[in-house]
Structure 1
């Protein structure tokens, strides 16, 4: 039986822009009704955020297994993320497979009606181990060259939705074809590939509708006039969806504006969050490596950035502070990632879409989150969060 009907009024982040109106919904959105703007109206209603690259949060990590996945889902739901891809670390092969099995168990739990207070898991993002050992970033040193048997093994876990690959690694070109044939989004990242290698890799996937740049600009070198590198090739490609970690640590605002100019309808906000997200400053870990979080910056002992402690609501506020309109920032957090995964049931405030909603006050702080029309009561920030 359908649940009770709800209605909210406020500034709606519609595909055509911010419009004052009323949103009526149950599990799905039933009506979007424009209304004359009301004086003093300060409420904004956005589609729920979709994070396609998140390792952890609230003390939980994907590599911990099902309990870690559930913990991170709960933390990020309180910050407006209604759908996500739990993302693995480069690790020994048995640990990678165990993490994927954990994601599969949470998918099964949600299908059975469990984890109603956490973001919906859409599948897993395999970040490594098929990456360059020379561009690990904060990934542990367990990169390997893929074999057809390994690719078949990860696909057999029944949960893979996205993967990060380094084009120059032997075996990766064939692995990409195998993964693309299974409908997996192919991302380029953690790579030493130059622009020509990246172009050749992408050209071989020309018929595949789901391509991405894994945390664009990070772990792939810079852009120069005579050496545009992987980042330049990815920005120039007409179908690639670039992920951006906009925590003001990983990416400069000018770099975000460059990505936006090159890919105006494809830039995706991600958190790349680690287990320390939501816990404030202090000591944590990532892939078995000690991490220090200070003033919102997470680093390994050698100073390497170690993922982030970002949440999607803070990423949205950062984007707006960089001068991008709220409705466009909303698309970066919802509509674009949905399209990158081929999702048609979420990411927009339209009739028939899932009622995954984020309600913000005039300072763009979250007041309510709805998951499939169910209200996540009184989202509270963890002590120590901004």
Structure 2
């Protein structure tokens, strides 16, 4: 691979073992797809910045993408997958977990096998880090847009079936279901990240889930027990337990702005920005599908099921970063929540950071925090820029 030098108005860097900080101006030198050097100022003989405004950030990492650009990841064929991995860099995302929502375990297992077969044929684009299974081990009371008919307890045989392809990297489940704590232990031992979600559990039960190995909470405040001063639920434990990382859909619809600010203030360094994007994301208003069910994308706001239930989002992850900054969350904290924090949580310290030795996945965010140029392994895959 050819070398690459990018000079920028500002660079967000996160050296190993050091806090994230901003170099202004700064530069990044890439060799063979890996970051070789990060420095402050300008290299000799380079008087002007390639990126004169905004900031150079690590490529964004999204752990919850049900679909995008008209395609539901669980049901998409090869063409749909090609579209999504090729176009997600438009949103600054360089790594993601396609998310399959509730379906019969046999159907999910088949979707995993089908996905394993098509991944080697995909073009260069956003990295597929594995698959996030959101269900079917969820609580009926907090099912959200999931089909209650297919919700079930996590029997050991079913968990084993879902693990067979080796593609599962994240599982969202309700820890109050029978067998859930044993399932969390099994999944954790297999190297799978477990997230508490679609759950009516008490805070104590969520603490037990964390004791068993759970480390994330799926879309905090949505489809879960919340904050009650006499009956604390999932959201309370997500905010106070330093082992847990609350996922946050920051489209300003799923969680009100002041509540989003509360999440960042209560869990500094632990928040994970996610899109929970549905097939309608990046598309005009209309009817699409989520988990085989029709959803409607209005002109303003997130997609909905026929009964008015929120059904994923139409959010871009770069917009989530911008929304966080506009709420008064510092730029470093906002970018970290969409890069370093999810990458580390999923066990990929080579991603989500601009530091020597990391993969050269980069995104130029303009002053509005929208992606202008995106690089993966040092190769430009979207935009103008260098």
Common fold by TM > 0.5: yes
Segment drifting more, 224-233 vs 184-193: 224-233
Question: Is it true that 1:144 corresponds to 2:180 in the alignment?
Answer: no
> Residue by residue, what CA displacement relative to the aligned partner does 1:276-333 show, whole Å, maximum 9, x if unpaired?
1100212212122221111132111111101001111111111111111222211010
In structure 2, distance between residues paired with 1:200 and 1:245? 25
Aligned structure 1 segments of 4 or more residues deviating by more than 4 angstroms? 36-40
Alignment deviations for residues 43-101 of structure 1 (CA, whole Å, 9 cap, x no partner):
31000000001110011111114523333223322111100011111012222112212
User: Which residues of 2 match residues 75-154 of structure 1 at below 5 A?
Assistant: 75-109=87-121, 114-116=122-124, 118-141=125-148, 142-154=150-162
> Structure 1 residue 121: deviation in Å?
0.3
Corresponding residue for residue 320 of structure 2: 315
- Structure 1 gaps of 5+ residues are 380-386
In the TM superposition, what is the alpha-carbon distance from 1:340 to its structure 2 partner? 0.8
Shift in Å, 1:195: 1.3
1:271-310 to 2 correspondence within 5 Å? Answer: 271-294=275-298, 295-310=300-315
| Residues 30 and 66 of structure 1, relative CA distance in 2, 3 Å threshold | farther
Q: Which of 206, 211, 229 is residue 203 of structure 1 equivalent to?
A: 211
**How many angstroms apart in 2 are the aligned matches of 1:81 and 1:106?**
20
- 1:192 counterpart = 2:196: no
1:262 equivalent to 2:266? Answer yes
Aligned counterpart, 1:227: 231
Contact 1:51 1:85 (C-alpha < 8 Å) held by counterparts: yes
3-state SS in 2 of match to 1:63 = coil
The alignment status of 1:53 with 2:60, answered yes or no, reads no
Where do 5+ consecutive residues of structure 2 fail to align?
15-19
CA RMSD between the two structures: 1.9
Aligned with 2:34 (options 28, 50, 57): 28
**Alpha-carbon distance between aligned partners in 1 of 2:82 and 2:141, rounded to the nearest angstrom:** 32
- Structure-1-length-normalised TM-score: 0.91
Aligned length: 369
Per the normalisation by structure 2, the TM-score is 0.91
- Aligned counterparts, 1:149-160, within 5 A: 149-160=157-168
SS at match of 2:146: coil
Q: Is the 8 A contact 2:184 2:212 kept in 1?
A: no
8 Å contact 1:185–1:341 — kept in the other structure? yes
